[in-house]
Amino acid sequence: MTTYFKKIATITFFSSYASFAFAPNNGFITIGKKPPVQAFSNLIYALGMVETGIDTLAYNPVEEAVGFLQIRPIRLLDYNRRTGSNYTARDVYSYKISEKIFLYYASKIGPYNFELIARNWNGSGRKTFIYWNQVKEYL
């Protein structure tokens, strides 16, 4: 029985050694961090394309909507009230801040209903169905 265990130990040792010897990074195994799941990234892209073609400097004087996601003053006011933030219209020209505001509202609905998220982002009523069809073209 002892020769059997010696053979297993020898095979185990050499197979372990081989995996380290031929591994990248001089034999060290590196465990990397995976990037976080971004459940809404495709939807953000699609909305941005429909709204402004991803133009972060876009401004709609009729609605006073700002940035690539066309955030209106009433939504910004609501976001600030709900979160305790103090963003201004000028801040919303930032892609990251616009994305943060969008993610706040999208997360209230959840990552699995893009249609409802997009339609709520656009407003309310029958025109949101048209808007959703435009968004789907970019998803």
Q: Is the pLDDT of residue 82 over 70?
A: yes
What is the pLDDT averaged over residues 85-97?
97
Mean per-residue pLDDT for 93-122? 94
d(CA 110, CA 105): 9
Determine the pLDDT at residue 29.
63
> Would you state the pLDDT for residue 2?
65
Give me the pLDDT at residue 113, please.
Answer: 92
On average, the pLDDT of the chain sits at 85
> Which CATH architecture fits 41-136?
Orthogonal Bundle (1.10)
Please say if the pLDDT value at position 114 is more than 90: yes
Residue 70 sits at φ, ψ, to 5 deg, of: 50, 65
Q: How confident is the model at residue 112 (pLDDT cuts 50, 70, 90)?
A: confident
| Sign of the dihedral through C-alpha 122, 126, 130, 135 | positive
Which pLDDT belongs to residue 110? 81
The domain segmentation of the chain, as residue ranges, is 1-32, 41-136
- Note the pLDDT of residue 74: 96
Residue-wise burial string across 20-32, b where 16 or more C-beta atoms lie within 10 A, e elsewhere:
eeeeeeeeeeeee
